[in-house]
C-alpha cells in the first residue's frame, strides 16, 4: 500500500532542489532501488551509489557474444510490490514492464527421471500429486490450507512490519506457536504427505533463498501459497529490465543513481550518520544513509570508527549464513525447445547433499541444479536459433573446503556432463559462450560476507527481531535493506525490507525544519 502520510506525487520527487533532506542509498539491488523510490516519494533528495557499472546488484545483466544472462534472480512472485512503486511515481508497471506468467512454474525432474510440474491450478496440482501417490492428495490439500494460514501471518501481516524492540517479537510469539513455526519446512511437509518425491517437491523452496529445508523455519512454507496466490512470472528483457525500470523511476523523481561509485565508509559523528566517503576519497553528506550492501559487510567494513555493541565482528562471524552459489552461464548454438523456462534437476541425494552443504561445508561430487532457460519465453535474449541458459548449484559458502580457483572448471565440466546426459544432449559441442561465478565472486564482486549468496540463513533464531534490524542499533539514522535484514531474501523479501522503512525512517520534514 502507498504510504498515506507521504507528499503527493509531483511534489515529493521534484521540488525543493538541494534544500530537501538528503538520503544516500548504498547499493542498487532491488532493496536499495525500492528504498530510493520510497524515500523520494516521501520528500527526500536521494542519491544511490552503486559499485558496479549497471544497476541491479544481484539482478545484474551479463552480456556475452550476443547472449544476455540475468546474473541472479529470475522469478517474480508478488508483482503488486512492483505495481506499488510505479504508482508512487504516477506511472503504471504493466505499461513499462512486460511480465509473463509461467506455466508450469517449475518442472521438477527427479534423479530417476520422474517429473513433477507445478502451477497455480488446484485441480492440476492434485493430478500431479496423484501421479506419485493418490493417497497423498487429501494431505496435499491440507498442506496448502496450512500454507495459506502461514502466508496470511508471515507475509501479509508481518512482512512489512519493523521488529525494532524485543516486545515486537513477543507480540507474535503466540501466533508462531499456533503455526508451529519451530518445525522445519521439510518436517511440516512430511506431516501432510508420505511419498518422498512429494516431500522433496513441496519442500525445496527455501533453497531459492539460500536456506536448508531441513532447518529453515516452517514460516517459509508460505511460499507455496504465495505462488498459488499471485503466480510465478518472468520479465521480458530479463529481471534486469525491472532493475533498469526502477532506476528510471528514481531519475524521474529528480533523484540520482551513480554507477562505478564504491562506498568505502559511512561517516559518523557523535553516534549519528553524517554521510559517506567513496573509495576515491569523495565525501557526500547525508541526513540519512540506507545500506543495501550486505549487512555483515556494512557493519564489519563500512563503520571503522564505530564501537559496535550489538552486531560485533564476533557475533557476525558466529552467525549462520546461507548457501554459496556456483552459477554456470552458457549460450548454445542450437535450441532445446523441450526444456521449460524453470527446471529443478535433482541429484541422487536430498538430505545428505544438504547436510554436506550446510553442516559439513563439504563440496560433494553430486549436486542438484536449478536450470534457467529464459529464451523459452524471451527468444531475444540469445541470437536467432540459439538458447540462453544458466545452471545454478547450491554449494557451501567460503567457510567450506572448496578451493574454487582449482575446483571451478572440473565442477563446471561435471555439471555439463550431467546436463548432456539428461536434458541437453551434446551440450559441450553446442556451446558458443560460457563463464562461471563462484562464492569467491560473491565475496569480491558483490561484497557478500563469506561469499554467501543470500546473506544470513533464515532459521528461526535469525528471523524477525533476531535478524539484523532495518533501523540500525549502532548508529542513528542508519538503515538496512536487503536479504540479511527483515523480512529476508528473495525478490518479495528484499522489496519488503524497503517497505519497512516507511515506518522507521523519519519524515523528511524532521530534517527540513
List domains and CATH numbers for the chain: 17-100+236-318+458-512 (3.50.50.60), 125-230 (no CATH), 323-444 (3.30.519)
Q: Mean pLDDT throughout 175-185?
A: 74
Indicate the pLDDT class of residue 411, thresholds 50, 70 and 90. very high
343 has a pLDDT exceeding 70:
yes
12 has a pLDDT exceeding 90:
no
Q: Mean pLDDT throughout 413-437?
A: 98
Q: Are 22 and 287 in contact (CB under 8 A)?
A: yes
Distance (Å, rounded) from C-alpha 90 to C-alpha 445?
35
Q: Which pLDDT score, from 0 to 100, does residue 462 have? A: 75
Q: Are 391 and 369 in contact (CB under 8 A)?
A: yes
Neighbour tally for 214: CB within 10 Å = 17
**284: enclosing H helix or E strand:** strand 283-285
* pLDDT tens, residue by residue, 126-147: 999 999 999 999 999 999 999 9
Four-CA torsion 154, 156, 161, 163, nearest 10 degrees: -10
Q: Which pLDDT score, from 0 to 100, does residue 488 have? A: 82
Indicate the pLDDT class of residue 10, thresholds 50, 70 and 90. very low
Q: Which pLDDT score, from 0 to 100, does residue 220 have? A: 83
Q: Mean pLDDT throughout 19-46?
A: 97
Distance (Å, rounded) from C-alpha 101 to C-alpha 233?
4
Q: Which pLDDT score, from 0 to 100, does residue 11 have? A: 36
Q: Which pLDDT score, from 0 to 100, does residue 177 have? A: 63
Indicate the pLDDT class of residue 168, thresholds 50, 70 and 90. low
* pLDDT tens, residue by residue, 270-284: 999 999 999 999 999
486 has a pLDDT exceeding 50:
yes
Cell of 475: 548508529
Indicate the pLDDT class of residue 225, thresholds 50, 70 and 90. confident
The rounded mean pLDDT for the chain is 91
Indicate the pLDDT class of residue 458, thresholds 50, 70 and 90. confident
Distance (Å, rounded) from C-alpha 286 to C-alpha 274?
6
Sheet containing strand 431-437, strands side by side: 115-118, 106-109, 342-345, 369-372, 387-395, 324-332, 431-437
Q: Are 39 and 32 in contact (CB under 8 A)?
A: no
Indicate the pLDDT class of residue 327, thresholds 50, 70 and 90. very high
Q: Which pLDDT score, from 0 to 100, does residue 487 have? A: 87
Q: Are 275 and 47 in contact (CB under 8 A)?
A: no
Cell of 431: 556451446
5 has a pLDDT exceeding 60:
no
Indicate the pLDDT class of residue 14, thresholds 50, 70 and 90. very low
Give the least confident one: 182-191, 379-388, 457-466: 457-466
Distance (Å, rounded) from C-alpha 387 to C-alpha 434?
12
Distance (Å, rounded) from C-alpha 468 to C-alpha 504?
14
Q: Are 307 and 474 in contact (CB under 8 A)?
A: no
Q: Which pLDDT score, from 0 to 100, does residue 164 have? A: 65
Reduce the DSSP state of residue 33 to 3 states and report it. Answer: helix
Between 259 and 12, the higher pLDDT residue = 259
What helix, strand, coil percent values describe the chain, rounded to 5?
Answer: 40, 20, 40
Give the least confident one: 97-106, 174-183, 317-326: 174-183
List own/partner pairs for 198-205 with CB under 8 A and 24 or more apart.
Answer: 198/116, 198/129, 198/132, 198/133, 198/136, 198/140, 200/108, 200/110, 200/346, 200/350, 201/108, 201/116, 201/118, 202/140, 202/143, 204/108, 204/344
Distance (Å, rounded) from C-alpha 494 to C-alpha 133?
36
Which DSSP category does 98 fall into? -
Alpha helices in 426-484 (DSSP H): 427-430, 439-444
* pLDDT tens, residue by residue, 365-398: 999 999 999 999 999 999 999 999 999 999 999 9
Q: Which residues contact 239 (CB under 8 A, 6 or more apart)?
A: 56, 59, 70, 72, 73, 74, 76, 491
Give the least confident one: 108-117, 183-192, 213-222, 433-442: 213-222
Between 111 and 513, the higher pLDDT residue = 111
Q: Which pLDDT score, from 0 to 100, does residue 404 have? A: 98
Give the least confident one: 35-49, 173-187, 398-412: 173-187
Of the chain, the percentage scoring pLDDT greater than 70 comes to 91
Distance (Å, rounded) from C-alpha 358 to C-alpha 347?
16
**What is the distance of C-alpha 507 from the center of its chain?**
28
17 has a pLDDT exceeding 60:
no
Distance (Å, rounded) from C-alpha 427 to C-alpha 501?
47
Query: Partners of 235 in the beta sheet?
Result: 99
Amino acid at each position: 500500500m502507498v504510504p498515506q502520510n507521504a507528499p503527493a506525487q509531483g511534489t515529493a520527487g521534484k521540488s525543493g532542489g538541494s534544500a530537501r533532506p538528503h538520503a544516500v542509498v548504498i547499493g542498487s539491488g532491488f532493496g536499495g532501488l525500492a528504498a530510493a523510490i520510497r524515500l523520494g516519494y516521501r520528500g527526500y533528495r536521494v542519491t544511490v551509489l552503486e559499485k558496479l557499472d549497471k544497476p541491479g546488484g544481484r539482478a545484474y545483466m551479463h552480456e556475452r557474444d550476443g547472449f544476455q544472462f540475468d546474473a541472479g534472480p529470475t522469478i517474480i512472485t508478488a508483482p503488486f510490490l512492483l505495481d506499488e512503486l510505479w504508482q508512487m511515481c504516477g506511472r503504471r508497471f504493466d505499461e513499462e514492464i512486460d511480465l509473463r506468467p509461467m506455466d508450469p512454474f517449475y518442472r521438477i525432474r527427479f534423479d530417476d527421471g520422474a517429473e513433477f510440474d507445478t502451477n497455480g491450478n488446484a485441480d492440476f496440482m492434485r493430478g500431479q500429486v496423484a501421479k506419485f501417490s493418490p493417497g497423498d492428495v487429501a494431505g496435499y490439500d491440507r498442506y496448502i490450507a496450512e500454507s495459506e494460514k502461514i502466508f496470511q501471518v508471515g507475509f501479509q501481516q508481518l512482512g512489512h512490519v519493523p521488529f525494532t524492540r524485543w516486545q515486537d517479537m513477543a507480540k507474535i510469539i503466540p501466533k508462531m506457536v499456533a503455526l508451529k513455526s519451530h518445525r522445519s519446512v521439510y518436517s511440516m511437509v512430511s506431516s501432510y504427505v508420505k511419498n518422498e518425491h512429494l516431500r522433496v517437491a513441496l519442500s525445496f523452496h527455501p533453497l531459492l533463498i539460500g536456506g536448508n529445508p531441513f532447518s529453515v523455519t516452517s514460516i517459509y512454507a508460505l511460499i507455496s501459497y504465495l505462488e498459488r496466490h499471485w503466480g510465478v512470472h518472468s520479465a521480458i528483457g530479463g529481471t534486469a529490465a525491472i532493475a533498469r525500470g526502477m532506476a528510471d523511476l528514481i531519475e524521474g523523481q529528480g533523484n540520482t543513481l551513480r554507477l562505478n561509485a564504491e562506498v568505502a565508509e559511512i561517516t559518523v559523528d557523535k553516534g549519528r550518520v553524517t554521510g559517506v566517503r567513496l573509495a576515491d576519497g569523495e565525501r557526500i553528506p547525508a541526513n540519512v544513509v540506507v545500506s543495501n550492501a550486505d549487512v555483515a559487510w556494512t557493519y564489519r567494513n563500512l563503520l571503522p570508527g564505530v564501537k559496535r555493541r550489538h552486531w560485533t565482528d564476533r557475533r557476525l562471524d558466529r552467525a549462520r549464513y546461507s548457501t554459496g552459489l556456483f552459477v554456470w552461464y552458457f549460450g548454445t548454438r542450437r535450441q532445446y525447445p523441450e526444456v521449460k523456462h524453470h527446471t529443478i534437476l535433482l541429484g541422487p541425494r536430498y538430505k545428505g547433499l544438504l547436510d554436506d552443504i550446510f553442516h559439513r561445508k563439504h563440496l560433494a561430487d553430486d549436486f542438484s541444479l536449478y536450470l534457467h532457460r529464459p529464451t523459452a519465453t524471451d527468444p531475444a535474449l540469445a541470437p536467432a536459433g540459439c538458447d540462453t541458459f544458466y545452471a545454478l548449484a547450491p554449494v557451501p559458502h567460503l567457510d567450506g573446503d572448496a578451493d574454487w580457483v582449482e575446483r571451478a572448471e572440473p565442477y563446471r565440466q561435471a555439471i555439463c556432463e550431467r546436463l548432456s546426459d539428461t536434458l541437453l544432449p551434446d551440450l559441450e559441442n553446442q556451446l558458443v559462450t560460457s563463464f562461471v561465478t563462484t562464492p569467491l565472486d560473491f565475496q569480491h564482486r558483490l561484497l557478500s560476507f563469506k561469499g554467501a549468496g543470500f546473506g544470513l540463513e533464515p532459521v528461526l533464531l535469525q528471523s524477525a527481531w533476531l535478524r539484523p534490524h532495518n533501523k540500525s542499533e549502532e548508529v542513528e539514522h542508519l538503515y538496512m535493506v536487503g536479504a540479511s535484514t527483515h523480512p529476508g531474501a528473495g525478490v518479495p523479501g528484499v522489496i519488503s525490507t524497503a517497505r519497512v522503512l516507511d515506518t522507521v525512517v523519519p519524515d523528511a520534514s524532521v530534517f527540513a525544519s
